[in-house]
A and B are shown apart, each in its own frame.
Chain A
Amino acid sequence: MADRSLEFSPTIPTVAAQQDDHLWSWRRLLNKTLLYSILVVAAVVAMVPFLWMISSSLMTLGETINRQWLPTTPQWDNYTRAWRDAQFGDYFLNSVIITGVTIAGLLFTSIFAAYAFARVKFFGRGVMFTLILSTLMIPESVIMIPNFLTVTGRIIPLPQLHPELPFISFGGSWMNTLSALTVPFMANAFSIFLLRQFFAQIPDDLWDAARIDGSGHLRFLLQIVLPISRPAMLTVTLLTFIGAWNAFLWPLIVTTRETWRPLMVGLYNFVQEGGTQTHLMMAGSFITIIPTLILYFLTQKTFTEGIATTGLKG
């Protein structure tokens, strides 16, 4: 589909259009000017809030109140103050750890599950896959409250890890722990589905060859399937990053203390408590946005396509 549209791009002038060009070149110029002005206006509207944020984040408190467009002297100090005094540094570190752990956990569970659903023949495969997919329909607000009870340990005994023997015990609550923020998001129907579709396309010849060499499923998965599935894994990683980094509602209810409070909740609390310190608020917002922006600019194509095809947004 995409190839075809490239070949027959309507931008190639036709005979009729060329004649049109000639006769109506002034009109075409007018047309172009109109088109570009629409685009430029839209681009300005899209960008202004960002520019406003950056400009405000470099102002003194007085300047944000008296409202200038630009700071007289950029107050770079605002960022150090936001980072240290308003604790955005701590929140940032928390968010990085939460996001990293979630991505690692999710990749682990979904790679194995997706591989099994795509290439291992076992009893109950279809039923299990349908059951997993059925969770895609359910909105977060319905399952949030039971999950909150689960995480506070009121429904099932929760495993707790310890550094000393016997390493694991059951019971207690996960409130204000890393587990509450990461474990519920370590498996997700969509990632399993996406990876499964990719793994299922890998030619059977590769598997036959690997088998003759005496390799089992595990070795085939780790040595052949994973290296050639990098694009799919990148998409899953990016989507998980967005989900974990932007998460707000769930972290809000499971973090009552500072210990593991992520950036989004920290920013919200800062707005609620110090709502008048616009300059620090904007510096904090910028700190929150930067990692996503960097990732977006680095992996633009995968990023845009990944989100566009899934329609997911935190």
Chain B
Amino acid sequence: MTATNLNQNSASASGIRRFWPKPDTIRENITGWVFISPAILLVFVFGLFPIGYAFYMSLHRWRIQQGRFLWFDNYTATVGDWGGALLFVLSMVGLYLTYRVWTGAFSNAQSNTWLLKVGVALAMMGASLFMLVIGWDRMMGAGNTAYLNGLVYTFYFAFASVPIQLALGLILAYVLYQNIRGKEFFRMIFFLPYVTPAVAAAVIFRVVFSPRENALANSLLGMFGVEPQRWIAESRPFVNAMFGLNLEGFLAGPSMALISVVILGIWTYVGYNVVIFLAGLGAIPADLYEAARVDGASEWNLFRSITLPLLSPITFYLSILGFIGTFKAFNTIYVMRDPFAQGTTDVASIVVFDTFYKASRYGEATAQAIVLFLIILALTQIQRNVFEKRVFYG
């Protein structure tokens, strides 16, 4: 994009240059640098320099004042055990390869090796999961448990909210796209939560999800005859609080308090997904539908075979955006935080902030932030690899 623009400009400029003497180049250079200097100065001081400096800080003992050089001790304190971390990363790679073998098994119908491939895939999955459990145990044994738990909560938060946001967004956009009266009005209403300042929305939801019996969320549950819940003040896993199920460890799932945060997240982002999906629906050529209708396709068939595949690039974009968003989410969770939730809503970004702001351990906090950044990068890359093949770009 940049390259073509530059070429066009230089082509037309060289046409003019013949009439202008050399001193012009000097003037252009001076003008250019004077024009960009305020922006460049600020971007360097507050955007580029801090990246390098953050890394520098993460290699030191740094509690308000700079301490001695520690090599990677802050990172060790964060992930705990390098062997465990390596096992963990390998298990992720293993799961990814499992996925490749598994899809490979069904991609070629003629091949008679599919049974073998499925067997290999299952064995690989078992090995990966084993490595995952062992690696994670070793990390939890020696590392920063608050931070590692924070990563688990971040994982819950992302996987509980992003798929629901996408599904609801798609349904509402699809409904709105049918010849609906007041389409603009509905779109405006749906977008409103997204526009609301996050802190104010979180303050409102604190009251809605307050543990009082007559709070809004509890009155709604009451209408369906469900017992009132303690919501943001409930540290028990929601499967336990709602259904009395007793699960242990990772499988216990998010706490009731985290579920309250998830609901706020969904409420906020559905409208955004509706707007983007609507734009995508508008770009699908209508003659495709016409042709399929003439062939006698049902509405469901149209949706499944035309709408979904043609929307897949948008779904992909929104899911990446959603995952990055949930991994970086801070404001709403920080405001919704309740002491009675006993830290079960403290996702990784919150732990980073606490390490920095409350504990004043700057070196460790920067190390944690950098690890989180690397995880986000890796996840988006995996998502790209796994889903891009399924995305249909028309």
Q: Contact residues of A with B, CB < 8 Å?
A: 1-2, 4-5, 8-11, 14, 16-17, 35-36, 38-39, 42-43, 45-50, 52-53, 56, 66-67, 108-110, 112-113, 115-123, 125-126, 128-129, 131-132, 134-135, 138-150, 155-156, 183-184, 186-189, 192, 200, 204, 208, 211, 216-218, 245-246, 248-249, 253, 264, 267-268, 271, 278, 281-282, 284-285, 288-289, 292-293, 296, 300, 303-304, 307-308, 311, 313-314
Residues of B within 8 A of A284 (CB): 203
Q: How far is the CA of A110 from the CA of B261 in the complex (A)?
A: 36
- Tell me the nearest residue of chain A to B171, going by C-beta: A38
Chain B interface residues toward A at CB < 8 A: 2, 5-6, 9-10, 12-13, 16, 25, 28-29, 31-33, 35-36, 38-43, 45-51, 53-54, 57, 168, 171-172, 175-176, 178-180, 186-201, 203-208, 212, 214-216, 219, 267, 270-272, 275-276, 279, 282-287, 289-290, 293-294, 321, 325, 328, 330-331, 334-335, 349, 352-353, 356-357, 362, 365-366, 369-370, 372-373, 376
- A251 CB to nearest B CB, Å: 10
Contacts A67-B214, A314-B331: A135 and B47 contacting too (C-beta < 8 A)?
yes
Of chain A, the residue at the smallest CB distance from B35 is A116
CB distance from A215 to the nearest CB of B (A): 13
Extra A-B contacts (19), CB below 8 Å, given A267-B200, A289-B196:
A17-B293, A50-B196, A66-B214, A120-B28, A121-B13, A121-B28, A126-B2, A135-B47, A135-B51, A142-B369, A146-B53, A149-B53, A149-B362, A150-B46, A189-B47, A268-B335, A296-B195, A311-B321, A313-B272
CB pair B192–A5 under 8 Å, yes or no, is no
The CA of A245 and the CA of B255, in the complex, are separated in Å by 31
* Minimum distance in angstroms from A303 CB to a CB of chain B: 7
Instruction: Give the distance in Å from the alpha carbon of A284 to the alpha carbon of B197 in the complex.
Output: 12
Interface SS majority for chain A: helix
With the chains together, A77 CA to B351 CA distance in Å?
40
In the complex the two chains form, is A145's CB within 8 Å of B199's CB? no
Contact A140 B188 (CB under 8 A): no
Given A267-B199, A267-B203, also A45-B267 (CB < 8 A): yes
The CA of A245 and the CA of B356, in the complex, are separated in Å by: 24
| Distance of A142 Cα from B215 Cα, bound (Å) | 38
What A residues does B190 contact at CB under 8 A? Answer: 42-43, 46
CB neighbours (8 Å) of A138 from chain B are 47, 51, 373
Contacting pair B35 A112 (CB below 8 A): yes
Q: Is the CB of B275 within 8 A of A140?
A: no
8 closest A-B pairs by beta carbon, nearest first, are A122-B32, A67-B214, A113-B39, A146-B50, A187-B42, A116-B35, A8-B286, A143-B50
The distance in angstroms between the C-alpha atoms of A29 and B43, with both chains bound, is 58
Q: Given the interface contacts A17-B293, A150-B45, does A246 sit within 8 Å of B199 by beta carbon?
A: yes
Contact B45 A145 (CB under 8 A): no
From residue B216, how far is it (CB to closest CB) to chain A in Å?
6
Alpha-carbon distance A281/B335, docked complex (angstroms): 13
Picked from A46, A303, A308, the residue with its CB within 8 Å of the CB of B276 is A308
Inter-chain contacts of A129 with B (CB < 8 A): 2
Q: A10-B289, A141-B352, A296-B195 are in contact. Are A49 and B176 (CB under 8 A)?
A: no
- Verify B43–A116 contact, CB threshold 8 A: no
Q: Are A264 and B197 in contact (CB under 8 A)?
A: yes
Chain A residues positioned under 8 Å from B370 (CB to CB): 142
Q: Are A140 and B199 in contact (CB under 8 A)?
A: no
Once the chains are docked, how many angstroms separate the CA of A128 from the CA of B47?
13
CA A4 – CA B287 in complex, angstroms? 11
Given contacts A142-B370, A150-B46, contact A8 B53 (CB under 8 A): no
Q: B366 touches which one: A125, A142, A184, A216 (CB < 8 A)?
A: A142
Cα distance, A117 to B13, chains bound together (Å): 14
Interface centre among B195, B199, B267, B270 (most CB of A within 10 A): B199
Complex Cα spacing A17 to B299, Å: 11
CA distance A48 to B41 in the complex (A): 46
Q: Which residues of A contact B214 (CB under 8 A)?
A: 66-67
Closest to A281 in B: B203
How far does the Cβ of B230 sit from chain A's closest Cβ, in whole Å? 16
Report chain B residues within 8 Å CB of A52.
Answer: 204, 207-208, 216
When the two chains form their complex, are residues B205 and A49 in contact, meaning their CB atoms are under 8 A apart?
yes
Given A304-B191, A314-B198 in contact, is the A122-B207 Cβ separation under 8 Å?
no
CA distance A109 to B39 in the complex (A): 5
